[in-house]
Structure 1
Amino acid sequence: MSDSALLRQCHTVFPGHRARAPAELFAAMAAWCEANGVEHDVYGSGALLQAFEARIAQLLGKEAAVFCISGTMAQVTALRLACEDRARALAALHPTSHIFVHERSNYQLLGHFKALQAGERHRPWTVADLAAIPDRLGAVGLELPLREIGGQLSSWDELEAIKAHCRARGVHLHMDGARLWEAAAGYGRSLHEVAAGFDSVYVSLYKGIGGLGGAMLAGSGDFVARAAEWFRRQGGNVIHRSPYVVAAAMEFEARLAAMPDYLDRTRFLYGELAAHPIIRVNPAAPQVNMLHLHVPVPPERALAIRRELAERHGIWMFNRVAGGVLPGTSYFELYVGDNLLHAQDEHVRTALALFADALGSV
């Protein structure tokens, strides 16, 4: 049986939101379109699209926002324009930035800008990390939260200091806000407060929201208009954005409202994990509704345990797994969404106990 078929049979699923089959998702989208009188946009012009862009801009306290087919395109375009505006080609990024880890050197091979790694890989930035850079920067790209280290955030005071540092030096501060919705809940602040002081903000329409794909880039009206033109030049001018916008918009307000609940559920899970020291957790305490769980078995064994628990007990512990730094170890990301939010407490406890027992068996 395939992994996807096995997952569908499980009654206790730890990661994310419930995955809907295409037919179910498209039927829900069709019903929402019917109820809201949705018509297709044409090359970015349409009532639904413009209203949703305006909603994102308003939430973030920016003049404008524009849809982009991918965050990869949105981010490197924003940083390139920022560096060009200041005639400074250098952008500072955290060593675990999505641009370094997942985007196949696009910024370098396509000549967008020059990138400098700043700070330490296993902790969030402090303002001292930026103050230690002697170069004249054109832009700083800050990810909130840092996914690759378990969803960690710079402290609020450090974040405010970073904003002030960039403002005083005329450096464009860009946010990789793929998980900004989660970060705002973690800070206990409004989206507007978190985004204040950033010159541009990218947000995802699918990661926490559960849409089909797509992104938004927000900032000043002039900056967003120029970015939109470059999206077209780079092949991002799809004729209909409406499927992506519908899939995001129909879940958007409910998912935003649920972010504090997801964080509370993550804290519950963290507390339950204390009974199973064989599973190591990063960060030391939840900062958003995401954790990295480190286990003392190689990825192949972790996957075998996942299948065994799914087949015998109807439990799905994780999706992807990666090798750990130490030999014979692995780790996986756990994003807490609707699945764990609605799981019964006793089912969660039972699943953790079965998982821990399997990890400890020879």
Structure 2
Amino acid sequence: MTEEKTDDGGGAGETTAPRGGERARRLAALRGSERVLSGIPHGLTVGERLARLAADAPAAYDLDAGVDTYGDGVVGELEQRVAELLGTEAAAFFPTGTMAQQVALRCWAGRTGSQVVALHPLSHLEKHERGAYAVVSGLRAVHPTDEPRPPTAEEIRELAEPFGTLLLELPQRDAGFVLPTWEELTEVVEAARERDAVVHFDGARLWECVPHFGRGLPEIAALADSVYVSFYKSLGGLSGAALAGPAALVAEAKVWRHRYGGEVVQQWPAAVAALAGLDQELPRLPSYVAHAKVVARALAEGFRAAGVPWFRVHPGVPHTHQFQVWLPYPAAELEEAGVSLAEESGIWVFSRWFDSEVPGLAVTEVTVGSSALGWTPEAVVAAVGAVLDRLPAGCGGGG
């Protein structure tokens, strides 16, 4: 079985589908589990997803209203809702975050007169968009740092060449869903202003950054000139994203949205699901973030109790409701152990495992959502031990 890690659909590490019956087996094991710590996104059937949308829709939008046509109706209401939540003048709905970000950067390049974007080499644009910013939009990137962390203000000030836009991913997913402190973030933004650059937030997961920063969404968004947010990574929507910022920028972005093929005739299912997510999931995110800290501590305790020779929970104290776990075992063995545990006991612990670039180490992304809130530290420790007990003797660095 070969498999490639791609951008995630719900924050838990989506991948291209495994060949054969592996994916079906994993989904069956997950769906049959009574207790789920960190699940797989998009594990529902078409019928279940339709039933959920039908159940959520009446509270999210007037079902007697007509469907949207090229962005009016429910799509327009969603755009207004996002602008109000973020405290921006306007917002535009996009079918994908990749399109939203490409359009934002293209608009800023025209306004600043610079095709150069300062961004992290682990950013979504570099890792998960097939170089679209360069191939499609003709932009060029410079990297403030290669370290797996957000850039510092000093690194922004010391960039050897001018740039028109600074893109900051909040949180930085591929570095471990990490965030700067509020003071560090404001200093980085100030450093970009000193360089006469605009600031764009890749805020696909901005919704869950509020507890870490201790600031509301409008205050966070106000630091940037434009912000992109996702409706499905944390909010449980079907798809879609929004680009928020000044009204003039959003109006221009809608022109480019049409040119990029994003002027879809009807998008009401995605828009209704997004409104439901804003109503239901957004208020719950702080509780997920708080419980992620409990789960992370318990995982570390479980690995120590099981005698794992080396492990890493990163960050040790999660910044959001997502974090990484690294173990010294082959990903395939960890996958099999987790699936067999679910099949035998109805307990699902981890999402997908991947062999890392470091030989002998596997990594997974843990997402703490509603299904994890009932897990006590003792339950997490016991479940970790049950997974590791299923590894073959002599497996990896500590079996």
Which residue of structure 2 aligns with residue 340 of structure 1? 372
Letter in 2 for 1:152: V
1:353 aligned counterpart, secondary structure: helix
Which residue matches 1:145?
Answer: 171
| Alignment equivalent of 2:67, drawn from 17, 33, 40 | 40
Q: How does 1:74-85 map to 2 (within 5 A)?
A: 74-85=100-111
The 8 Å contact of residues 102 and 137 in structure 2, kept in 1 or not, is answered as no
Matches within 5 A, 1:1-362: 2-16=25-39, 19-34=43-58, 36-38=61-63, 39-46=66-73, 48-275=74-301, 276-277=303-304, 278=308, 279-343=311-375, 346-359=378-391, 361-362=393-394
- Cα distance between partner residues in 1 of 2:152 and 2:352: 30
Report the Cα offset of residue 284 of structure 1: 2.7
Question: In structure 1, the residue corresponding to 2:199 is in which secondary structure?
Answer: strand
Please give the alpha-carbon distance, in whole angstroms, between the structure 2 residues aligned to 1:334 and 1:139.
32
Deviations along 1:130-161, whole A, 9 cap, x unmatched? 11102111101100001112111011111001
- Deviation string 1:62-120 (CA, Å, 9 cap, x unpaired) is 10001000000000110121112111110011111001001111112223311112213
Alpha-carbon distance between aligned partners in 1 of 2:252 and 2:29, rounded to the nearest angstrom: 46
C-alpha distance in 2, partners of 1:165/1:182? 25
**In structure 2, C-alpha distance between the alignment counterparts of 1:251 and 1:171, rounded to whole Å:** 33
Aligned residue identity for 1:9 = G
For residues 346 and 274 of structure 1, what CA distance do their matches in structure 2 show?
Answer: 12
Q: Give deviations 1:236-283, integer Å, cap 9, x for gaps.
A: 111112110111111312211111110111111122123223342111
TM-fit CA distance, 1:31: 4.1
> Which structure 2 segments of 5+ residues have no match?
1-23, 395-399
Alignment check: 8 A CA contact 1:289 1:335 kept: yes
CA contact (8 A) 1:76 1:112 kept: no
Distance 2:242 2:187 in 1: 26
Cα deviation, residue 313, structure 1: 2.0
CA distance in 1, matches of 2:98, 2:315: 26
Q: Post-superposition shift, 1:122?
A: 1.5
| Stretches of structure 1 lacking an aligned partner (at least 5 in a row) | none
Structure 1 window deviating more from structure 2 (108-117 vs 284-293): it is: 108-117
Q: Which amino acid aligns with 2:262?
A: G
**Equivalents in 1 of 2:83, 2:58: separation in Å?**
26
Seen in structure 2, the aligned counterparts of structure 1 residues 91 and 180 have a Cα distance that, compared at 3 Å, is same
- What value does the CA root-mean-square deviation take over the aligned residues? 1.9
CA distance in structure 2 between the aligned counterparts of 1:195 and 1:361, rounded to whole angstroms: 51
Q: How many Å separate the matches in 2 of 1:101 and 1:282?
A: 19
Amino acid at match of 2:37: F
* 2:78 and 2:271 in contact (8 A); partners too: yes
User: Conserved in 2, the CA contact under 8 Å of 1:146 and 1:152?
Assistant: yes
Identify if the C-alpha distance between structure 1 residues 359 and 194 changes in structure 2 by more than 3 Å, giving closer, same or farther.
farther
Contact persistence 1:149–1:283 (CA under 8 A): no
TM-score, normalised to structure 1, is: 0.94
Q: Distance in 2 between matches of 1:326 and 1:109?
A: 30
Instruction: State the alpha-carbon separation in 2 of the partners of residues 298 and 113 from structure 1.
Output: 38
Distance in 2, matches of 1:165 and 1:124, equals 14
Aligned length: 361
Mapped to 1, the partners of 2:347 and 2:147 lie a distance apart of 33
